Amino acid sequence: MKLKTTLITTALLSGMAFSVFAAEELTPEKADSLAPFDRITFSGRYDSIYDANKAASKQADKRGASAFFVRDISEVNNGSNSRVTVDLYHTDAKPAVEEVKYRVYSGVRELPRDEASKLEPFDTVSIRGNFPIQDDINSTIGKLASEKGAYSFFIVRQIDANRGANQYVTAFIYKKDAPERKIQIKDDPIPADSDAGKAALAAGGAAAAEVEIPNVASSTSFSGDVGRFFETQTSSEGSRYTVTLKDGTKVQMLNNATAMKMTPFDSITFTDNFSNSVEMYEQIAKRAAAKGGKYFHVTREWQKGSGNTTVTADIFK
């Protein structure tokens, strides 16, 4: 399963709680309002975003953080592993400074993900080669961007090949007056075709503002109109984790932030021996669909003897 959510993944990554660990996962809004004491990066093989977040929670505990927020998940080694970037926070974290400090290469500034995703690029630049350190990559991208008259850039793809001997890198480049993209107003919006979404739209006002806008890009996705698709997009970019059953039925997983805005009509609890999280989600989706549900949210999972796991999930229409 490919995990690239890359940066901020934000809607998909937010709100997953791991009660067995001490560190709390922050919502995107809370994370942006506080100054982290450290930003860490680690790599591993994760079958789902949920597994990557569990690993991030453990890393946060090791470093004495009281809270964490996953800033980015990107593929490395042709998708066999994922690189996870996490911000760590202390209990007494200070408010974040509003002023953004940009790194500049060849006169071209590097944009943070949340800013880049709101703008429309005019072109891309790509490089391939052996770059010992990240700064070498940024410098080379900055030089190419400058030659094309760019004001800023954002690296949207970075893949390590041949065990890190080569890197394949692609960056979006932007003009100073880059137009803003039309994206979802809210992070973690309520699905428009859910019962909760229909009710919120009927209520209007602030309630309706919490509902996703159909056919409008997620705030965590990037433009699909510039560059070659395989270099700038992934099938999971900006979408909820979706399980497609054999009969074609699609059931989506909600994160905590979205599930809190909705009311479940039922819940399920069952025990089985899962080889990985993907298999667990498939079993949940089958049971949810059998009850007429279109969405599910995992509320609890715990292991019993003999490797069995018991899972509880809320189901939504």
Q: List the chain domain ranges.
A: 10-89, 103-174, 187-216+240-317
The class that CATH gives domain 103-174 is alpha beta
Given a cut of 80, whether residue 171 has pLDDT beyond it is yes
Q: Is 85 helix (H, G, I), strand (E, B) or coil?
A: strand
Contact 243, 1 (CB under 8 A): no
Of residues 315 and 197, more confidence is placed in: 315
CATH no. of 187-216+240-317 = 3.30.1660.10
For residue 192, is pLDDT > 70? Answer: yes
The band of 77, judged by pLDDT with boundaries at 50, 70 and 90, is: low
* Structural contact between residues 250 and 233, judged by C-beta atoms closer than 8 angstroms: no
pLDDT at 191 over 80: yes
Task: Give the global pTM.
Answer: 0.44
Sorting pLDDT into bands at 50, 70 and 90, what band is 163? Answer: low
- Please state the rounded mean pLDDT for residues 24-38: 90
Is 103-174 in the same CATH topology as 10-89? yes
Report the pLDDT value the prediction gives residue 7, as an integer from 0 to 100: 41
Write the DSSP string, 253-281: E--HHHHTTS--SEEEEEEE--SSHHHHH
Q: Is the pLDDT of residue 74 over 70?
A: yes
pLDDT per residue as tens digits for the range 254-268? 888 788 888 899 999
Total residue count of the chain as it appears in this document: 317
CA distance 263 to 29: 22
In this structure, of 13-17, 202-206, 218-222, 226-230, the range with the lowest mean pLDDT score is: 13-17
The CATH classification of domain 10-89, taken from the options 3.40.190.10, 3.10.20.70, 3.30.1660.10, 3.20.20.20? 3.30.1660.10
- The token pair that represents 161 in the structure block: 């090949």
